[in-house]
Structure 1
Amino acid sequence: MPRPKLEVADIFRTHGPAYRRANVGHLNLAQLKAMSAIEACRTEALGGHVAACTKCNHQHIAYNSCKNRHCPKCQAPAARDWMAARAEDLLPVEYFHVVFTLPAEIARIALWNKRALYSLLFKASAQTVMTIAADPKRLGARVGLTSVLHTWGSALTHHPHIHMIVPGGGLSPDGTRWVACKPGFFLHVRVLSRLFRRLFLDGLMALHGAGHLRLFGDLVGLADAPAFAEWSAPLRKIDWVVYAKPPFGGPEAVLAYLSRYTHRVAISNHRLVSADADTVAFRWKDYRIKRGDRMKVMRLATDEFIRRFLIHVLPDRFHRIRHYGFLAGSGRKEKVARVRAVLGTAGSGEPDQPEDDLKEPLALREPCPDCGGPMRIIETFRRGEIPRSRAPPRLQAA
């Protein structure tokens, strides 16, 4: 895919310094780190390497990526590596995609309590699926699932929700057989929604009672326990959005599909249309339109665009991909092997890889742009260094 003409990094490099000066004291460390990383990504500021073709004389310099999980340019290689690492977890069964969304009223509180409420969103949604699936009246099985947190809508608004990928079945309570769900149907969405609502609101009340919620602006009055209880009461009566998409065409499509969710950021560079000191324009999808072309162009003030991007920066060391059930924990490999044995299929035999080990491989995937031959790294250099193999003769070391 060709490089976009406009990138988030361009906007940050041009307008980021002024935005930081105007918002001193209002940006947290994680947001400042994300801005700095995106601005430096694939520039001489991070050093790089010299790649040479093994068939012709072509050479070029490639600067290092920042590997920040919020950087639009770093996610494609990270997604490929993640997909390869998780391939051995695939099972020859139907897979389902379930989405859990927080109501807008709670999303407002989550904006100032990201770590606490995003963690609760993970916990409540996973517990909902595992509890309903274990019910003998439903599936009666111990399931495994992978959850991915997204915090944005297409217009960069704050819209926290969980994308969950679940195999269509699970192990029987005694672990001796695979209990498959009905073809094309996993669990009742209405049942999932009601339990999810109860678990999340119970957890939210517990956080409030323990004094773990920060409340600002017109929400300050909710610090009082009776006021918070009165505010949350209507939320126990409305329908919470839980959406189950049709099953995938086959397990082969699952990881490719999921990797697009696991490593997606608030906005990709390819959605950007234009940017200047006053306005940033980008393409977005209007889901309110049921038929016809949903794609539109939104124009935001440049400062507002940067603000919306930064509200989706996660707290440091907060995991946005989590695994539960038989896909969780250090014993995941053994549990998946047990499931495969029950299903009568052999494992892939590939070595396991840590979830966050997303280092760029030394072997270059991209072929030579001149002849198509394989490219190899012949030299690496750090920030401020001049590559010996590409330096002018007067700068070459003796």
Structure 2
Amino acid sequence: MNLTTVIERYQAGFETQYAGRISPDQRHALGAALSCRTERYGEMKLRCTSCHWQQSRFNSCGHRSCHRCQNHDTTRWLERQMQKLLPVEYFMVTFTLPYELRAVVRQHQAEVYSAMFACAASTLKSFGANDTKLGSDMGMTAVLHTHSRRLDYHPHIHLVVPGGCLNRRRKQWKKLRGHYLFNEFALAKVFRARLLDALRILGLNLPQVPRQWVANCRNVGKGKPALKYLSRYLYRGVVSENNIVSDDGTHITFRYMDSQTGKVGTRKITGEHFLWLVFQHVLPKGFRRVRDYGFLHGNSKRILRLIQTVLRVVIISSPAAIRPSFKCLRCKSPMLIIAFIPPSWRST
């Protein structure tokens, strides 16, 4: 089902019902998704390379939360991560905020999300430095998710961690053996203490929170499946149009995969509430959802190359992903972009 059609049908009621809760960034994302590939964003002129037939197409909005855009950016990000992949066991560590803090997070998203990144990374770095088997700086890729599979507000951070560290003095890779990284309860305890301290330093008024938080640490094999999973929600929003089952005029039904049972479930809610569930996850403008740390950071390319040399990784420089070309409607040959026409509102 087309999400744009859902937005058109329920937008007025949604903006009335949630007027006091919609942020400017969420409102902008809603407008971009609604106007994507319309005259609002201008158009491009195309010419067939074979029969020279010409046609026009509207431009995409380019918003990272748009359900129509950003597939190319997702592919490019995954390709860059694959260039960093090492032939070792990988682990995924997940830190989740308790329910009691979510109201505070909503009011101070950029500050709290940044603190979550910093505290999650520092917690893992401390455990790696103090571990007798590792004892060195770890590399990790962290991705912020704010939704559950039912689309409820559920802020958590996933970190994909290679199982090992580099001994720089000996130029030797210290491999982590087995399928165990760190104790989950100890990770949760340290993360809780550091994040609460960080939020108090920010001057936030915190509610009473539980003493035990949730951290999950599991082996994910060679890393590629975990990176593919994380790449799904970097762009294009939190729901796939394929998962919108029906719209009866007042209620939307969508399906999701239950993380506990592994079975497909459905959820039926009003159209206005569905739009809120989707657009409440729009991040503040300019906020980076994914960050690299340690030897996977962009400033540590020399160290990463050294690790790849030590592990005898054959780096195959793959060509940059090419955007799919437009096909001629008459002869199916590729078409070239010959001109961009800006939207009329820019010339006024």
TM range (shorter): 0.7 to 0.9
Range 273-282 or range 99-108, more displaced: 273-282
Q: How far apart, CA to CA, are the structure 2 residues paired with 1:101 and 1:128?
A: 14
Q: Which residue of 2 aligns with 1:33?
A: 28
Sort the Cα spacing of 1:50 and 1:253 in 2 relative to 1 into closer, same or farther, 3 A. farther
Q: Which residue of 1 aligns with 2:239?
A: 267
Local SS of the residue matching 1:155: coil
Say which of 296, 314, 320 aligns to 1:327. 296
Q: Could you tell me how far 1:65 is from its partner in structure 2? A: 1.6
Local SS of the residue matching 1:74: coil
Q: Which residue of 1 aligns with 2:59?
A: 64
Say which of 312, 319, 331 aligns to 2:281. 312
TM-score, normalization: structure 1? 0.76
Identity %: 32
Q: Could you tell me how far 1:299 is from its partner in structure 2? A: 1.4
CA shift digits 1:50-94 (9 cap, x unpaired): 444434567654322212121122232220122233343222322
Q: Could you tell me how far 1:175 is from its partner in structure 2? A: 6.5
Q: Which residue of 2 aligns with 1:374?
A: 334
Say how many residue pairs are matched: 345
Local SS of the residue matching 1:81: helix
Superposition pairs for residues 177-216 of structure 1, below 5 Å? 177-207=172-202, 211-213=203-205
Local SS of the residue matching 2:190: helix
Sort the Cα spacing of 1:185 and 1:345 in 2 relative to 1 into closer, same or farther, 3 A. same
Retained in 1: the 8 A contact 2:164–2:174? yes
Retained in 2: the 8 A contact 1:189–1:242? yes
Local SS of the residue matching 1:111: helix
Local SS of the residue matching 2:146: strand
Sort the Cα spacing of 1:159 and 1:40 in 2 relative to 1 into closer, same or farther, 3 A. same
- Structure 1, unpaired ranges of 5+: 214-221, 223-227, 354-359, 386-398
Say which of 91, 94, 99 aligns to 2:86. 91
Q: Which residue of 1 aligns with 2:215?
A: 242
Q: How far apart, CA to CA, are the structure 2 residues paired with 1:76 and 1:45?
A: 21
Sort the Cα spacing of 1:334 and 1:244 in 2 relative to 1 into closer, same or farther, 3 A. same
Matched, 1:13 2:8: yes
Q: Aligned letter for 1:259?
A: S
Local SS of the residue matching 2:281: coil
Sort the Cα spacing of 1:101 and 1:164 in 2 relative to 1 into closer, same or farther, 3 A. same
CA-atom RMSD, angstroms? 3.0
Sort the Cα spacing of 1:41 and 1:379 in 2 relative to 1 into closer, same or farther, 3 A. same
- Structure 2, unpaired ranges of 5+: none
Q: Which residue of 1 aligns with 2:38?
A: 43
Q: Aligned letter for 1:243?
A: N
Retained in 2: the 8 A contact 1:281–1:298? yes
TM-score, normalization: structure 2? 0.86
Q: Which has the larger radius of gyration?
A: 1
Q: Could you tell me how far 1:182 is from its partner in structure 2? A: 1.0
